[in-house]
């Protein structure tokens, strides 16, 4: 029997990991991340590319509870007295794509409140604010690390004022771990659109692109210009303090800073949007 396209991608990714001596995907579900043929305008509207990107639908805490990486101590929501039901506290769709120069990162979020206040603020403390962060290991290596060489986190604080720490880069480098610095201004463009559907002040759309050579290429000398078939590590971390201190988190495709717990993503060629048939 012929394999389906997802089955062929899964098999190809597993073979690529084995051939390269890379860590296996801990969840046995490598994620196909498509290449964009046309660069979108970064303006807080994902319409140009969201149907051409990788996404696996709507996430809430109830869906997270059914995933293999779920840990209730990490994937959680907090209650400070005025939160809606758990399934309405935070709902999210995440989008990821690439081209020859950039990673494209997007999110459409329904949230009950926007919280970017941290009483003990430090620029690196994005995780104490509303923020979304893509953890990328490029290329996917063979040894487990915690923000060592090849590990990156591209983090965006959901603050429409776009402070200097609003686009943050945690990464490793040869001989270094946990380097903390703003994303280079020339390497990033991002936009935040607050209350895009007119239903609540905490809702937002995030759209970003990150240039790979001055980020992934700095983190690892083994990184090279991307091409279909390349395998990276991936985790998405979404923090939601809701007026608290450390607050709640959604973690997708991973269990924390250890990159051996991150899932894998395979760069693929372009895809077509889902067909919608007329009556």
Q: How large is the average pLDDT for residues 19-24? A: 73
Which string of b and e fits 94-126 if b means at least 16 CB within 10 Å?
bbbbbbeebbbbbbbbbbbbbbbebeeeeebbb
What pLDDT is stored for residue 19 in this prediction?
55
From the number of C-beta atoms within 10 Å of its C-beta (0-12, 13-18, 19+), residue 65 rates as exposed
pLDDT band at 4 (very low <50, low <70, confident <90, very high): very low
Residue-by-residue DSSP string for 209-236? EEESTTTHHHH-TT-----TT-EEEEEE
- Kindly state the average pLDDT of the residues 260-266: 97
pLDDT value for 16: 53
CATH class of 5-268: mainly beta
Residue 84: the pLDDT is 83
Average pLDDT over residues 134-150: 96
pLDDT at 12 over 60: no
The confidence band for 1, taking pLDDT boundaries of 50, 70 and 90, is very low
CA atoms within 13 A on the CB side of 88: 7
In Å, how far from its chain's centre is CA 25? Answer: 17
Predicted confidence (pLDDT) per residue in 85-101, tens digit: 888 899 999 999 999 99
Q: Where are the domains of the chain?
A: 5-268
Radius of gyration for the chain, computed over Cα atoms and rounded to the nearest angstrom: 18
The pLDDT value given to residue 204 = 98
| pTM recorded for the entire structure | 0.92
Mean pLDDT in residue range 9-35? 74
Residue 208 has pLDDT above 50, yes or no: yes
Residues 48-54 have a mean pLDDT of: 98
């Amino acid at each position: 029997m012929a394999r389906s396209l997802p089955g062929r991608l899964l098999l190809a990714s597993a073979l690529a990991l084995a051939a390269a001596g890379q860590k296996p995907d801990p969840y046995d579900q490598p994620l196909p991340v498509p290449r964009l043929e046309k660069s979108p305008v970064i303006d807080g509207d994902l319409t140009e590319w969201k149907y051409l990107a990788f996404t696996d639908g709507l996430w809430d805490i109830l869906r997270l509870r059914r995933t293999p990486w779920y840990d209730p101590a990490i994937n959680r929501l907090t209650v400070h007295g005025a939160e809606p039901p758990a399934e309405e506290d935070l709902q999210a769709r995440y989008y990821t794509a690439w081209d020859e120069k950039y990673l494209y990162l997007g999110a459409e979020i329904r949230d009950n409140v926007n919280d970017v206040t941290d009483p003990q603020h430090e620029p690196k403390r994005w995780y104490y604010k509303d923020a979304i962060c893509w953890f990328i290991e490029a290329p996917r290596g063979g040894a487990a690390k915690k923000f060592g060489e090849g590990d990156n986190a591209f983090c965006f604080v959901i603050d429409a004022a776009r402070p200097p720490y609003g686009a943050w880069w945690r990464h490793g480098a040869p001989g270094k771990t946990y380097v903390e610095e703003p994303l280079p201004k020339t390497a990033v463009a991002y936009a935040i659109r607050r209350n895009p559907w007119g239903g609540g002040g905490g809702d937002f759309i995030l759209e970003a692109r990150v240039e790979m050579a001055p980020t992934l290429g700095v983190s690892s000398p083994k990184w090279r210009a991307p091409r279909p078939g390349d395998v990276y590590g991936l985790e998405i971390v979404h923090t939601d303090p809701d007026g608290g201190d450390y607050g709640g988190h959604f973690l997708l495709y991973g269990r924390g800073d250890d990159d051996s717990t991150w899932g894998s993503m395979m760069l693929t060629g372009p895809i077509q949007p889902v067909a919608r048939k007329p009556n």
